[in-house]
Chains A and B, each alone.
Chain A
Amino acid sequence: QKEVEQNSGPLSVPEGAIASLNCTYSDRVSQSFFWYRQYSGKSPELIMSIYSNGDKEDGRFTAQLNKASQYVSLLIRDSQPSDSATYLCAVNKNAGNMLTFGGGTRLMVKP
């Protein structure tokens, strides 16, 4: 079982729709969770971090964490073509230095 698992996609949504990106992790003691966005040919950039169960909203982005189910998701409301990118889920297992990344989900927002 992969430590951090994401569906590689592509996930295709129409412009204006809600895009839902999912991530599961295997280590129950994981404490910190991050979503990075990576445009093609560019480096990853952080868009959301979440540390406790529940929802965290930032503009059009909402991160959701459920530690009991070992599940973290990212919702993008009113998706725009400029949101088309690969979204990387990253998990810090135990307050150490190791940030483990998933393989990423490629999102395509069609006009």
Chain B
Amino acid sequence: ETGVTQTPRHLVMGMTNKKSLKCEQHLGHNAMYWYKQSAKKPLELMFVYSLEERVENNSVPSRFSPECPNSSHLFLHLHTLQPEDSALYLCASSHEADGNEKLFFGSGTQLSVL
């Protein structure tokens, strides 16, 4: 158990669907992140939240919409996705969002867009 819980573990959705990924951290951290991991590509940072405020948005298409209602919860709302968005979506947390902190990753959501 890593202290960062993601649901669902697997998700299959059509291009017209709307779905949400959920992440919860039980570590008392102040920063939370969404990463995308595609086959044969490096981990890509999507969003960073520090104390519930978005501090980084790494040129992500608007069909991905993050939400951080409090420091323990992070959502990624998905709508009108494309097949190339199929990937493993990883949530992570750290004590602070200064880039020098250890990241704790969740188990990820394997997303398939049909």
Contacts and interface: CB of A to CB of B under 8 A. Distances in A.
B55 interface: yes
A98 B56 contact: yes
B102 A46 contact: yes
Interface string A83-96: 00000101011011
Name the interface size band of chain B.
20 to 34
Interface in B77-98: 90, 97-98
Contact of A102 (B31, B42, B48, B56): B42
B62 interface: no
Interface string A41-85: 011111001010000000000000000000000000000000000
A95 B42 contact: no
A4 interface: yes
Contact of A97 (B2, B44, B98, B107): B98
B100 A44 contact: no
Contacts of A4: 42
Contacts of A51: 100
B2 to A, nearest CB: 7
Nearest to B56: A97
B108 A99 contact: no
Contacts of A31: 100
A101 interface: yes
A32 interface: yes
B108 A32 contact: no
B111 interface: no
Contact of B107 (A32, A42, A95, A96): A42
> Considering the complex of A and B, which 10 residue pairs feature the smallest CB-CB distances, nearest first?
A92-B99, A43-B105, A101-B43, A101-B42, A97-B48, A103-B42, A97-B56, A46-B102, A32-B100, A97-B97
Given A31-B100, A43-B108, 11 more contacts: A2-B42, A51-B100, A92-B99, A95-B100, A96-B98, A97-B31, A97-B48, A99-B99, A100-B42, A101-B43, A101-B44
